[in-house]
Amino acid sequence: MIASVCPNPCLDVYYYTTVLMEDDTNRVENPYLSPGGKGLNAARVISRLGISPHLITTIGGCTGECVMRGLERESVPFEYVKIKGETRVNTILEQKGKKSHVLIACRGPILDEREVKELEERICSHSPDFLILGGSVPPGLPNDFYAKIIKYFKNRGCSVLVDADGELLRKAISASPFAIKPNRHELERLVGRPLFDFNDIVEACREVVNSGVQIVITSLGRYGAVAVTEEKVIRVVPPDVKVINTVGAGDSVVGGFIYALDKGETLAEAVAFAVSCGTATVMMEGPKLCKPDDVYDVYERVAIFYLE
């Protein structure tokens, strides 16, 4: 069984414009609305690949209702803590002809003591083989929230993957999770220095492994990903594809990685499948996640390198 925790979900509101004018009205077509958040998106990917994960999240207000309807449309199994605050909105603005986007992310609603306690109880009531802890935590949850969850599940034979940033990730690492999935920028913040090339990235991953994490899988955008353990360095490079949108690509990597491990694949195969999911997502318009047919097509064309 796979469970995924998303303490701070959001409604992604995606705007696409041909031109962006400052100090003037920018009129756009109707936005694309999608449930979002790292742990939530990972669960969506796993679900569309054919396994029913169990998502645990928080829901509040009208925005939360929209998130729930989106999950129900995709038949993603979930349970939630009903909160007093309003589920946050993330706004994504993409301009035609540019290869980047602007993401305006809200911090999220404040959770009170009852809501925090119920969230912990709901998470700890499950016995998954794999657990994803994905994204930020809303105000009201301490930075060691993930670390506490990791310690609880490690004693129960569960493999926990963390996809987070900053102090939340640093505290989580202190509890020695099974795996983490930073991108390059998150890895730089974690080790406290710029990483100029691939060798720098591998060295930083090794530092994290030496601190107690079994697997560090770092996503590298169009260059694929690298996975580092005590004994292995595995690099996966995807084929060239037309990059349309990068929103959700890292979350797709997480979902694909855990999906493949749950199916019994080797580490190299799981990283290759993870990269295939991320690559298939960047081929989609708007904040849409990978299609299984695209994933398997990319998977046939990735290159796997075993490094010293």
Q: Which two tokens stand for residue 260?
A: 């493949």
What does the domain layout of the chain look like in residue ranges? 2-19+30-307
Q: Which of the residues are catalytic?
A: 251
Domain 2-19+30-307 has CATH 3.40.1190.20: yes
Q: Which two tokens stand for residue 142?
A: 């301490």
Contact 238, 276 (CB under 8 A): yes
Q: Are strands 225-228 and 215-219 parallel, antiparallel or unpaired?
A: antiparallel
For the chain, the residue count is: 308
3-state helix, strand, coil in the chain (%, to 5): 40, 25, 40
The pLDDT tens digits for 192-234 are 999 999 999 999 999 999 999 999 999 999 999 999 999 999 9
pLDDT along the chain (308 residues), means of 10: 99 88 86 96 98 98 98 98 98 79 92 97 98 97 97 96 98 98 98 97 98 98 97 98 91 99 98 99 89 98 94
The residues, any chain, with a CB within 8 Å of residue 115's CB and separated by 6 or more, are 58, 81, 83, 84, 140
